[in-house]
């Protein structure tokens, strides 16, 4: 079979790789659509394990099933979660499944930018979801990234009366705008330095959109009854954005730091100010069943307009173009690869 093999952001090769063979409790899924995630182009994160087949935002069709599989049948349309928790360890039982050792060690084989993937037994049991009839394969690629957003907003405790500010209007930021709107947030403000993405933020429901290079805290106060934001969600790793995030949160507010930095990055923290403002800082990574179930429901009910977020579609032979678009982050939002087209 063919797969897009990642060497670096400027070198993603279409190569012949072995088609996976499944065991008695496993599935073989034909990948019909696979989204390129922002994390796929984080070279500091990906290149240390290159060459490898990336891709975890997938939707496809079951074409083979192990002899012991009874819950699924050939022809089922599915989304498969690449990381799944054990649900039994100390952290899982406390509700923090995304720090579970099992979650960080599970994956499907070889990756979503391949024509077929093998779904291991634990992913079959804990991470395989039937796609509702209302959800296309394209829309199914948003289940995982939206699930991550759902989890983050759950940890941030967004309430209907809240003013929510989203710093960075890329794919995560746009999903956060729509999810906050679905939660009934009173006022949604978005920022970005890119005019193309500021226009997208308006299109997808932000009440106000500001150039991130302006005095954002002052602009927030101007449209928010002289108050800063109840919840600020940081969706970029630009170092200047961290300072802006800290200055944009109101007293007793919450900061959700949604995007990871490289491991050697250190951020100055204005502890005095945050301490006396009684600000909560929360982090969120990945998604588990509760989040994925809600994500599927939001997409199937069209409360999140994911289909309109797709800006580029490529077959596997053009995967390099897709990676370059996502890495540049200029005139694109969501790029989807179709490995079997």
CB 192 within 8 A of CB 168: yes
- pLDDT > 90? residue 188: yes
Q: What is the pLDDT of residue 10?
A: 95
User: Residue 341 — pLDDT band, cuts 50, 70, 90?
Assistant: confident
CA distances from 140 to 12, 31, 130, 261, 299 (A): 24, 11, 10, 27, 8
- Report the pLDDT averaged over residues 81-100: 97
User: Which residue do the tokens 């900061």 mark?
Assistant: 255
CATH topology assigned to domain 147-283: Rossmann fold (3.40.50)
pLDDT tens digit sequence for 40-62: 999 888 988 899 999 999 999 99
* Strongest mean pLDDT among 32-46, 80-94, 257-271: 80-94
Mean pLDDT of the chain: 97
Question: Whole-model pTM?
Answer: 0.97
Judge if the upstream peptide bond of residue 110 is cis by omega within 30 degrees of 0.
yes
User: Residue 163 — pLDDT band, cuts 50, 70, 90?
Assistant: very high
pLDDT tens digit sequence for 261-295: 989 999 999 999 999 999 999 999 999 999 999 99
Q: What is the pLDDT of residue 60?
A: 98
CB 272 within 8 A of CB 246: no
Assigned superfamily of 2-142+306-338: Medium-chain alcohol dehydrogenases, catalytic domain (3.90.180.10)
CB 336 within 8 A of CB 312: yes
Question: Of the given ranges (131-135, 260-264, 287-291, 331-335), which has the lowest mean pLDDT?
Answer: 260-264
pLDDT tens digit sequence for 110-130: 999 999 999 999 999 999 999
CB 248 within 8 A of CB 232: yes
Q: What percent of the chain shows pLDDT beyond 70? A: 100
Give me the count of residues in the chain: 341
**Nearest-angstrom CA–CA distance, 300 and 272:** 45
Domain spans of the chain?
2-142+306-338, 147-283
**For the chain, what is the HEC assignment?**
CEEEEEEECCEEEEEECCCCCCCCCCEEEEEEEEECCHHHHCHHHHHHHCCEECCCEEEEEEEEECCCCCCCCCCCEEEECCCCCCCCCHHHHCCCHHHCCCCCCCCCECCCCECEEEECHHHHHHHEEECCCCCCHHHHCCHHHHHHHHHHHHHHCCCCCCEEEEECCCHHHHHHHHHHHHCCCCEEEEEECCHHHHHHHHHCCCCEEEECCCCHHHHHHHHCCCCCEEEEEECCCCHHHHHHHHHHEEEEEEEEECCCCCCCCCCCCCHHHHHHHCCEEEECCCCCHHHHHHHHHHHHCCCCCCHHHEEEEEEHHHHHHHHHHHHHCCCCCEEEEECCC
């Amino acid at each position: 079979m063919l797969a897009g093999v990642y060497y670096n952001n400027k070198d993603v090769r279409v190569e012949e790789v072995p088609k996976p063979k499944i065991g008695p409790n496993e599935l073989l899924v034909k990948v019909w659509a696979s989204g390129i995630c922002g994390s796929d182009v984080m070279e500091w994160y990906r290149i240390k394990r290159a060459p490898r087949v990336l891709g975890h935002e997938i939707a496809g069709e079951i074409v083979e099933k192990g002899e012991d599989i009874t819950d699924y049948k050939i022809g089922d349309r599915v989304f498969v979660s690449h990381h799944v928790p054990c649900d039994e360890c100390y952290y899982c039982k406390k509700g923090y499944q995304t720090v579970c050792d099992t979650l960080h060690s599970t994956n499907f084989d070889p990756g979503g930018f391949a024509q077929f993937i093998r779904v291991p037994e634990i992913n079959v049991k804990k991470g395989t979801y039937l796609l509702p009839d209302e959800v296309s394969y394209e829309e199914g690629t948003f289940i995982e990234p939206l699930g991550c957003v759902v989890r983050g907003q759950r940890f941030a405790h967004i309430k209907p009366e809240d003013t929510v500010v989203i710093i960075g209007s890329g794919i995560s930021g746009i999903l956060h705008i729509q999810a906050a709107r679905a939660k009934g947030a009173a006022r949604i403000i978005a920022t970005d330095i890119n005019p193309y993405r500021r226009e997208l933020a308006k299109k997808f429901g932000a009440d106000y959109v500001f150039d991130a290079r302006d005095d954002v805290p002052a602009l927030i106060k101007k449209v928010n009854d002289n108050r800063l934001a109840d919840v600020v969600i940081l969706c970029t790793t630009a170092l200047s954005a961290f300072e802006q995030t800290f200055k944009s949160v109101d007293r007793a507010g919450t900061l959700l730091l949604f995007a990871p930095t490289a491991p050697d990055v250190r951020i100055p923290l204005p502890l005095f100010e945050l301490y006396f403002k009684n600000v909560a800082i929360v982090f969120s990574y990945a998604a588990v069943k509760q989040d994925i179930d809600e994500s599927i429901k939001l997409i199937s009910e069209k409360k999140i307009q994911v289909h309109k977020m797709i800006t580029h579609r490529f077959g596997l032979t053009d995967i390099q173009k897709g990676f370059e678009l996502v890495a540049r982050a200029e005139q694109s939002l969501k790029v989807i690869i179709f490995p079997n087209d």
